[in-house]
């Protein structure tokens, strides 16, 4: 299916918070019925970025039959990590609530994120009950994909982000939430990433593997922190690996 047959709707309101409205973009095949979906979570060091970062991927995978949902979330310093994750999960909930109109199979919703977005996506996938925005509904996800992510924020350098409470850093670290019930996971990172070291992904990978979680790791030989958007071949390679993973697990 070509990109011309992808239906895009931008700036759809999905969460109201004290006079502020959070919006999302949707990307869906023109002919869709009970398709898998991917909720894409943008990066930006928890302080910047917006939903449009993943638009190329959303169009690409909508052309392959995946509905894409790209939500915005509140940013630091105005929001805490739990509040950011709650916003992301509100996007997951919205996707489930609108499954019929978007042609989504609610049992086949994956989540993907880059950099800070990978951190938030991992928390949303591994501990949805801990960070859910409100209510008691099931927000479990079918699969997780993380790119260039920070998965252990227990180091002192992350204290301005997570706070100095006794359990704040532990609670905000995806690696601390790994268990046998974690969804199948795809982890991608460039070996030359100078923003977030690949060691973060390698340690997370080993923890998931030890827990018996199906996990696929892609180590890019170049491209740096934003390799997944790189037009020197890494975009195509990443799409190929991610597509194979999603087709297996969604």
**Are the C-beta atoms of 219 and 184 separated by less than 8 Å?**
no
149-166 mean pLDDT: 91
- Cα end-to-end span (Å), the chain: 18
CA 246/CA 250 separation, integer angstroms: 5
Structure tokens at 184: 């199948």
Percent of the chain with pLDDT over 70: 98
213-236 pLDDT, tens digit per residue, is 999 999 999 999 999 999 889 999
CATH code of the domain covering residue 192: 3.40.50.1820
More confident residue, 110 or 132: 110
Number of domains composing the chain: 1
pLDDT at 4: 54
Where in the sequence is the domain holding 230, given as residue range(s)? 3-249
pLDDT at 208: 98
The torsion angles phi and psi of 243, rounded to 5 degrees, stand at: -60, -45
175-216 pLDDT, tens digit per residue, is 999 999 999 999 999 999 999 999 999 999 999 999 999 999
- Tell me the CB-side half-sphere exposure of residue 246, using CA atoms within 13 A: 26
Examine the pLDDT at 166 and tell me if it is beyond 90: no
50-86 pLDDT, tens digit per residue, is 999 999 999 999 999 999 999 999 999 999 999 999 9
Least confident of 111-120, 144-153, 155-164, 178-187: 155-164
The pTM score is 0.96
Helix axes 81-97, 116-126, angle to 10 degrees: 70
């Amino acid at each position: 299916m070509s990109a011309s047959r992808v239906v895009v709707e931008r700036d759809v309101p999905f969460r109201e918070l004290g006079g502020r409205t959070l919006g999302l973009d949707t990307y869906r095949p023109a002919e869709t019925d009970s398709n898998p979906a991917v909720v894409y979570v943008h990066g930006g060091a928890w302080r910047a970025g917006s939903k449009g970062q993943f638009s190329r991927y959303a169009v690409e995978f909508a052309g392959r039959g995946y509905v894409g949902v790209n939500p915005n979330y509140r940013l630091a310093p105005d929001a805490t990590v739990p509040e950011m994750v709650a916003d992301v999960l509100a996007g997951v909930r919205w996707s489930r609530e609108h499954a019929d109109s978007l042609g989504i199979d609610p049992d086949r919703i994956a989540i993907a994120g880059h950099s800070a977005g990978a951190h938030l996506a991992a928390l949303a996938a591994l501990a949805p009950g801990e960070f859910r925005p409100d209510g008691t509904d099931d927000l479990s996800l079918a699969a997780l994909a993380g790119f260039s992510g920070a998965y252990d924020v227990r180091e002192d350098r992350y204290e301005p982000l997570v706070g100095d409470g006794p359990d704040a850093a532990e609670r905000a670290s995806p690696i601390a939430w790994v268990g046998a019930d974690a969804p199948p996971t795809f982890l991608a990172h460039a070996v030359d990433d100078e923003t977030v070291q690949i060691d973060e992904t390698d340690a997370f990978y080993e923890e998931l593997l030890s827990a018996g979680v199906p996990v696929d790791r892609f180590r890019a030989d170049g491209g740096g922190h934003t390799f997944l958007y790189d037009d020197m071949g890494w975009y195509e390679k990443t799409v190929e690996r991610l597509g194979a993973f999603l087709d297996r697990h969604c």
